[in-house]
Amino acid sequence: MLRFIASWMIVSVLLLPLTFVVGGAAAEPFQIIITEPETPLAPNSVIDLAKQLGYYEKAGVDVQLIRVRATPSAIAALRSGQGDMANVSLDIALQLIARDQMKLRGVISPDKALPFVIVGKKALTSPKQLEGKIFGVGQIGSVDYVQTRNVLADLGVDVDKVRYLAVGQPTVRAQSLIAGQIDATTITLGTWLSLPGRDGLNMILDQEAYYRAAPFVTKISVVTEETAEKKHKDVEAVVRATIAASRDFAAHPELWVDAMVKARPDVPREQLEVLAKAYAKNWSVNGGLDDGELKATTDALYKTEDFQGLPRRVDPAAWIDRSFIETVLGDLGAYKAASMQN
């Protein structure tokens, strides 16, 4: 993670030429940078689908989606002015602000929490059984590593007795699990449902229980201070469209399924319907920036190795700009959300 901070300029040179654009060719559209190569099987899909279904247009903003390979190039694009908003990992944004490398404002979290589940070999049925077992993670210090340790500790597991192995991306971790190279891992619900050969595996902890144990905000959409000021109306329109789409998906799951069938024809409709039910409480119907969850996330991150030695501690109030969400909620009213939603 620390290497990312030092190398983002190199990454920008190597990766930015590989970006491609989705959307209309209108003059000076508002550009949103996203790191998914295709519409994700997660609530974060709302960024893509709000465009497909015309929510941005209805809110009065012409949005262009720019896809890049990873968070480093998303940050590089934002810093170089090749985008107006970026959906990135909260921990990366926080480190940049703490080091005074960028002046960012968090304005909304379209998918505040990755829909993580813990899965493992068939014989593993409870978190406590993970002690002494090999647990695959992206890398030591990655989001899945940090969150899962918090989850397991909350559930009474001695996290220092779990043997962590850096394996890589979720699909690689899933393949390693199937191959028997690891005993368990954390992946998204979408990855789990699309995984072949699940008969020999077991879901040890579902997404709701996972989130309940560690209510952290993992992804957030940020803009620079300059963009927040000079393109205030566009930022507000994007926030308005995202909240409106999220509320409609929460109230009408079939709307999300129909849109995803068009966006991801490679995924069976039946699988999308299962995901739609699972995500019923995950939509950021009120913007996804709950003060308590943001503070809990910040507290947890500052206990990790990547945040040791940072020049200063940055609390949510110093960089989260809720004014855009507040304006929209002032017009739409607060959504009476169920558990997990905000």
So what's the pLDDT on residue 8?
46
**End of a domain among 188, 213, 238?**
213
Residue 72 lies inside a defined structural domain of this protein: yes
| Model pTM score | 0.82
For residue 6, give Cα distances in angstroms to 2, 25, 140. Answer: 7, 34, 18
Say whether both 148 and 245 belong to one domain: no
Paired residues of 32 in beta bridges: 65, 85
Give mean pLDDT in consecutive 10-residue pieces for the chain, a chain of 342 residues: 45 41 60 92 95 98 92 90 94 94 96 87 97 93 85 95 92 92 94 85 94 89 97 98 97 97 96 92 93 92 87 96 98 76 68
Q: Could you tell me if 90 and 157 lie in one domain?
A: no
Residue at which a domain ends, from 213, 248, 275: 213
Strand bridging mode 184-188 / 116-121? antiparallel
Is residue 143 domain-shared with residue 289, that is, in the same domain? no
pLDDT given for residue 223 in this prediction: 98
Picking from 178, 213, 248, the residue at the C-terminal end of a domain is: 213
CATH number of domain containing 220: 3.40.190.10
Residues 96 and 193 in one domain: no
pLDDT at site 340: 56
What is the 3-state secondary structure of the chain? CHHHHHHHHHHHHHHHHHCEEECCCCCCCEEEEECCCCCCCCHHHHHHHHHHCCHHHHHCCCEEEEECCCHHHHHHHHHCCCCCEEEEEHHHHHHHHHCCCCCEEEEECCCCCCCEEEEEECCCCCHHHHCCCEEEECCCCCHHHHHHHHHHHHCCCCHHHCEEEECCCHHHHHHHHHCCCCCEEEEEHHHHHCCCCHHHEEEEECHHHHHHHCCCCCEEEEEEHHHHHHCHHHHHHHHHHHHHHHHHHHHCHHHHHHHHHHHCCCCCHHHHHHHHHHCCCCCCCCCCCCHHHHHHHHHHHCCCHHHCCCCCCCCHHHCECCHHHHHHHHHHCCCCCCCCCC
CA distance 232 to 36: 26
Q: Domain containing 168: what range?
A: 116-213
Nearest to 206 by CA among 141, 282, 291: 282
Same domain, yes or no: 96 and 245: yes
Q: Are 64 and 171 contained in the same domain?
A: no
Number of domains the chain contains: 2
Answer yes or no: is 338 within a domain: no
Are 285 and 147 contained in the same domain?
no
Return the ∠ at Cα 107 (arms to 104 and 108), rounded to 5°.
Answer: 135
Both 106 and 28 in a single domain?
A: yes
